[in-house]
A and B are shown apart, each in its own frame.
Chain A
């Protein structure tokens, strides 16, 4: 079953613009992670935020977490064509930290 639900399902922007993707989940979590997938290949880990953290930065990425609303957002600033990919949020919960529950993902297209 899907825990996270991303929106929008697809996003198309111009190079240099910022891209924001949102994720909602249903149960309490241990942590929330964002992954990127290029064209049906493997997933690449981007950033992890723990349940007791509210915001985290990594390069051009900014993630926020609101546990009261059970939601997270991923902001990519100054986007590049190479950022074109699908982005997934994934959560771990309970005692099962090695089982990631993924959302359906947001397909981001950055036009040059």
Chain B
């Protein structure tokens, strides 16, 4: 089975622009989560989607949004980019196993640099 695929791997944008990141989960996985990783704040949860519905959301401003398509692929959008949005954005997928045994499989990430 192919792993979680994130595109693009690297992205350079300027302040004020918007960006869309893409994530293709492992085949059969219906849950997709997004995380932001920075040296200062570490790994922080952005949101989680299941069957095209957002089920969980982290503490990020409304500039960060996402969606999930019927094939479970997900996109994340950041509008009006700020310098502080520079980070590694990680996507993870999960098969809906028992609640006590959720394991997430991560993609290699998209490294976003905002200039």
Per the 8 Å Cβ criterion, residues 68-112 of A in contact with B are 88, 90, 92, 96-105
B105 contacts A by Cβ under 8 Å: yes
Question: Is residue A42 within 8 Å, beta carbon to beta carbon, of the partner chain?
Answer: yes
Which one of A13-21, A44-52, A59-67 contacts B? A44-52
Neighbour of B88 across the interface among A40, A44, A92, CB < 8 A: A40
Give the secondary structure class of A's interface: strand
How many interface residues does A have (CB within 8 Å)? Answer: 27
> Interface residue tally of chain B, by bracket?
20 to 34
Chain B contact residues, CB within 8 Å of chain A: 4, 31, 33, 35, 42-45, 48, 50, 55-56, 58-59, 88, 90, 92, 94, 99-109, 111
| 18 A-B interface contacts by CB (under 8 A) | A31-B100, A35-B106, A41-B108, A42-B107, A42-B108, A42-B109, A45-B104, A45-B105, A50-B100, A96-B56, A97-B99, A97-B100, A98-B31, A98-B50, A98-B102, A99-B48, A99-B58, A102-B35
Residues of A within 8 A of B (CB): 1-2, 30-31, 33, 35, 40-45, 48, 50, 88, 90, 92, 96-105
